Amino acid sequence: MTGHDPGPLIRLFGLTGGRARPQGEAFDLVAIVTTVSVATERADLMLEHLTVLSLCRKPCPVADVAAHLKLPLNITRVILGDLRREGLVTIDRPRPVAQTIDERIYREVLNGLRRL
Amino acid sequence: MGYAASESGSTEVASALAIKILIAGGFGVGKTTMVGTISEIRPLHTEELLSERGIGVDDTSGVESKTTTTVALDFGRITIREGLWLYLFGTPGQDRFWFMWDELSIGALGSVVLADTRRLQDCFAAIDYFEQRGIPFLVAVNCFDGARRHEPATVRRALGLGDATPIVLCDVRDRESVKDVLTTLVMYAVEGVFKASRPA
């Protein structure tokens, strides 16, 4: 798409103070985000922040957070990076497959697929 | 394995795990359909916003002003149990979004390369990509209505693949068929993981 209204983009980068990259350590598309504190009393938080904090009370992967917010991934990441810096969420580190999948999980995945 | 070595304070996050599987292949080969057939949710759609820095030199050359574009990412989810999910990501079809593949493929369990026998060449790039990076993949030949059926052996020869890489015929609209593809991939990928991690 070319020549479309730049308005939405300006609004999006407004959410992140113009930043396109999150602060701190990089995190994966399916890194699990978990809310540490819901922080509803924080007046400086935007609606998007509060939505994330509410959503991630149940651990939730980054991609799902983006889809839920209906925001592009990198905007979502900036928001998540900010929440992490404030200590309101944790985001797990990307790990190689060999470290995350043991035989038990592998069996669970296979059985789960077969059950579908 | 794995969990034991994790850093302090990560116990709660370690109990939730999302596993990535990529669905690659040429434009229009049925990637999004495949995700939709098996996903428990309507494929979710998110976009990655790119500044010109990420786009590289291609059709935007000659455009003087800073350009911004978006690349759509469709993905689906299969919940294995509370806290264990399988995510299927359709990879962006256009070559200029290769850098997105790098990010998608980090930590991925493996990839399905969807092929259409009428234009097998469309999946060469994906095969090269996964071969070079040692990411386990299989080739799933989508049998479109009216498409001439090919024997897996013929496809294997045409793609120059070794005997180890699984090749399966499938119908991306059929749930059982997609299940078969994914089960085959998981078995193949995990075999490799265990082989690599087992001490010699």
Burial class of residue B65 in the structure, from the number of CB atoms within 10 Å of its CB (0-12 exposed, 13-18 middle, 19+ buried): exposed
List, for residues B34-73, the tens digit of each pLDDT value. 999 999 887 777 777 665 444 444 444 444 444 566 677 7
- Which residue out of A84, A109, A116 would a mutagenesis test of the B interface target, given it has the greatest number of B Cβ atoms within 10 Å? A109
Asked if pLDDT for residue A55 goes beyond 80, the answer is: yes
Which fold would CATH assign to domain B18-197? Rossmann fold (3.40.50)
What average pLDDT score do residues A11-17 get? Answer: 69
- Across the interface, whether the CB atoms of B13 and A102 are under 8 A apart is answered no
Amino acid B3: pLDDT:
41
Identity of the highest mean pLDDT range in A98-102, A108-112, B94-98, B196-200: A108-112
In angstroms and rounded to an integer, the radius of gyration of the C-alpha atoms of chain A is 17
What average pLDDT score do residues A84-111 get? Answer: 84
Which residues in chain A have their CB less than 8 angstroms from residue B179's CB? Answer: 113-114, 116
Which residues in chain A have their CB less than 8 angstroms from residue B70's CB? Answer: 1, 72
**Using 50, 70 and 90 to split pLDDT, how confident is the model at B82?**
confident
In angstroms and rounded to an integer, the radius of gyration of the C-alpha atoms of chain B is 18
Our CA-based measurement puts residue B158 at a distance from the nearest CA of chain A, in whole angstroms, of: 30
Q: How many helices (H) and strands (E) does chain B have?
A: 7, 7
Amino acid B96: pLDDT:
64
Q: Which of residues 16-75 of A touch B (CB under 8 A)?
A: 20, 28-32, 34, 59, 61, 63-64, 66-67, 71-75
Amino acid B63: pLDDT:
40
Tokens of B121: 């060449």
Give chain B's mean pLDDT. 80
**Using 50, 70 and 90 to split pLDDT, how confident is the model at B10?**
very low
Full-model pTM: 0.80
- Predicted-assembly ipTM surpassing the 0.90 threshold: no
Tokens of B56: 């590289």
Our CA-based measurement puts residue A53 at a distance from the nearest CA of chain B, in whole angstroms, of: 15
